[in-house]
Amino acid sequence: MCKKVFSTLIFIVGFVISVQAQQECSLAIGATESDTIIQIFQLKEEQITNLEEFKAALEIETRLLDEERKNLFENHPQSTPEDLTALGAKYKVLEERMKQVFKKYDLKLLALFNEKQYQRYVTLCQEVSRQPLVVVRE
C-alpha cells in the first residue's frame, strides 16, 4: 500500500515538474513572416507598424549577438577539455541572451494585443503544449 502511494506521489511530482518545464510559446517575430502573424492575429494598422519596428530592432540586436558568437568561436582557445568547457559556458550565456531578446520583442507585441487577439495566442499555445507568455498590462 505504502509503495503504491509513493509511486503515485512520484508520478504526480514528475508531471508537475514536466508541466512547469514546458517551453515558452514564442511568436518568433524574427523568424516568422510578418504576414503570417498579421493574418493569424488580424493585426490593425498601428499594430502592423509596431511589428515591423520590432522586427527591425530585433534584427539589430540579434546581429550583434551573432557577431559575439562568431567572435567567441574564432578567438576562444579550444585545445583542452577545460577550454571547451569554458567555451560551452560562454556560449550558453550568449544563447540565453538571444532567447531573452526574442522574448522581449514577443512581450512588446503581445502587450499591443486586444483581449481577443491575446486569447487566440493563448489557445494556439495550448494546442501545441507551450506555455503562453504572460503580459503585465499597465
Check residue 112 and give its pLDDT: 96
Check residue 138 and give its pLDDT: 62
DSSP 129: T
Distance between terminal CA atoms of the chain?
52
pLDDT digits (tens, 9 = 90+) for 121-130: 999 999 999 9
Average pLDDT on 101-113 reads 95
* 108 grid coordinates: 512588446
- Dihedral of alpha carbons 22, 101, 136, 109, sign: negative
Is the full-model pTM beyond 0.85? no
Average pLDDT on 20-35 reads 82
Mean pLDDT estimate for the chain: 85
User: Predicted confidence band at 28 (pLDDT cuts at 50, 70, 90)?
Assistant: confident
User: Predicted confidence band at 32 (pLDDT cuts at 50, 70, 90)?
Assistant: confident
